[in-house]
A and B are shown apart, each in its own frame.
Chain A
Amino acid sequence: MRELGAGAALAGALLLPLVVRSEHVVGTLTLIFFFAFVGQGWNILGGYAGQFSFGHALFFGIGAYTSALAFIKGGISPWLGMVAGAVLAALVGLLTGHLSFRYGLRGAYFALVMLAFAEIFRVAVTNWEWVGASFGLLVPLRGHAPALFQFADKRAYYYVILGMLLALTAGVARLERSRLGYEMAAVRENEAAAAALGINPYRVKLVAMALSAAVTALGGTFYVQYFSYVDPTIAFGPAHSVEILLRPILGGAGTLWGPLLGSALLGLLGEATRGLVRAHAGLHLMLYGLILMVAVVFLPRGVIGLLHRRP
């Protein structure tokens, strides 16, 4: 029954852009999938391994800037830049992770140090002329060029991010059931107990960090190709770090479907309040703040916690 439902949902997602002609609907879904993707990236570290990062924009920004710079400065295809960005983000993740976990930072201290790392990148990039400084980077348009991650038809981006999300979801589903996944859960629930059982929490957290960083960076490249533009505040700003963690938290951190569920809910909410929100700048983030507060009090395990509630 579950397989049937999932199959129907997948078929629906694949066929939708062919049936629904509205660019707006396809665009909204593209963004829902995109935020579910980066949210899942955050979820690997923040949800499964229980290390709350308030600075994941750091990895998103590295992905976006690496592929955009490689293309603008060297003519290298963003498909390759995307891989390079993910590798670079994983390395930065290993470095920041090593520094944080080696010295036993956790909880609020870890959240704050990640915020500080992201801020360092934001300020540095803002002041660095070669990477566009505060003006940011504009990806030169080449029309229809699939080899360069550019499509004239916006529906192509829909399929790209859908494919990325499917692959990631399958990967995380496997991770959940793998040795590493169980080790991550053990570290999240009780680090001392995990260590007593022979798990090396430092190594587990570091691997989670690298995976999480790489995935988030892949999302960064997608973003910059889709919008053809990025600037230091969009890429590295604290507001973006919040955007990344909001959806998995709302949906249910540490669950496979939490990020997608949270992203779909916020996307629908955004649609429902669009007219109101357009009229006043800041209203949508105000709403996010309210949702976050309500979710923390009433849905401490996310919306998915409601579905799994025991009688």
Chain B
Amino acid sequence: MTVEILATSLANGVMLGGLYALVALGLTLIFGVMRIINFAHGSLMMLAMYATFGLATRTGVDPYLALGVTVPGGFLVGWGLQRLAIAPVLGAPEHNQLLMTLGLALFLDNLALALFTADPRTLLTAYSASTVAIGPVRLNLPRLLAFAGALGITAALAAFLKLTVLGRALRAAAEERDGAALVGIPVRRMYALAFGLGSACVAAAGTLAVPFFYVSPEVGNTFVITAFVVVVLGGLGSFPGALLGGLAVGVVESLGGLFLHGSLAQIGIFLLFILVLLARPTGLLGAAHA
């Protein structure tokens, strides 16, 4: 094994990790604000991927332009889902909230199965196989774009949360619900906003993945299970944790693929997950309390 192969694999892992981070970011935002683990997160990504695929094949536009549809669309769908499905169980025991999002995921995944069949589809673009050389490492262009897009969106979201009044209100609602309500922050609307933003993130991740990843009704599950690993690794509710966790998982999977063939590479991720859960269930950067 040459150094180039190792370096390329490492770089590919980082690229993929950026995308994982974006998926995990939405998950961790929703958890941070509402304390709900959203099992339907991957399903929203899958829907965004089908929307992108449909737009690109029907109208012939570049798949990246679909971001203009999937991001606002993801936001609206997330907002609506929060109001319709999540709000009624906010006061319910934790397991009922899990079951609600699980039911939602089952519904959406199988809706896609009924509408689009189980056949995986791949979108071929003129640049699907293009590479960019950075030193000795050749990077796949769509993966590089996905990575850059993921970083950009993460930065934008962080800026929104830190710098705007709305963002600060959202963080206040996350940190201290009753206190936030007391000073006049509409907490319920903040919850819908968080769900909308989280869904917009994962929708963006879906669109960014389409040029190099197949689309199928279960594709979201693949990503969301990885995203669970990422958020637990980074600490549920932690933003830098999601980014760091995403990159770590991307690298572990990519390097695992060098040594283990086929889907065995995933085992490394799950083992990592269990180890982290056991050693530090609040994650590497999570708060001290679980």
Contacts and interface: CB of A to CB of B under 8 A. Distances in A.
Interface of A: 52, 54, 99-100, 103-105, 107-109, 111-113, 115-117, 119-120, 123-124, 126-127, 238, 242, 249, 280-286, 288-293, 295-297, 300
B151 interface: no
Given A103-B281, A242-B106, A109 B290 contact: yes
Interface residue SS majority, chain A: helix
B258 interface: no
Given A105-B277, A112-B228, A124 B221 contact: no
Contacts of B92: 296, 300
B264 A127 contact: yes
B223 to A, nearest CB: 14
Contacts of B266: 119, 123
A288 B274 contact: no
Contacts of A285: 106, 109-110, 113
Nearest to A277: B114
Question: Which of A108, A117, A120 has most B Cβ within 10 Å?
Answer: A108
Interface residue SS majority, chain B: helix
B100 A293 contact: yes
A289 B267 contact: no
6 shortest interchain CB distances as A-B pairs: A289-B106, A292-B103, A282-B113, A289-B107, A282-B110, A293-B103
A289 B110 contact: yes
A100 B277 CA distance: 8
A242 B263 CA distance: 22
Given A109-B290, A123-B266, A249 B99 contact: yes
A300 B99 CA distance: 11
A283 B106 contact: no
A127 B263 contact: yes
A281 B118 contact: yes
A293 B85 contact: yes
Nearest to B94: A107
Contacts of B105: 289
B278 interface: yes
B58 interface: no
Given A108-B94, A242-B106, A282 B114 contact: yes
A109 B100 CA distance: 16
B95 A123 contact: no
B111 interface: yes
B114 A281 contact: yes
Contact of B232 (A112, A119, A297): A112
B125 interface: no
Contacts of A300: 92-93, 96
Contact of B103 (A117, A124, A291): A291
B76 interface: no
B262 interface: yes
Contact of A119 (B98, B225, B290): B225
A117 B274 contact: yes
Contacts of B152: none
Given A115-B225, A282-B111, A293 B104 contact: yes
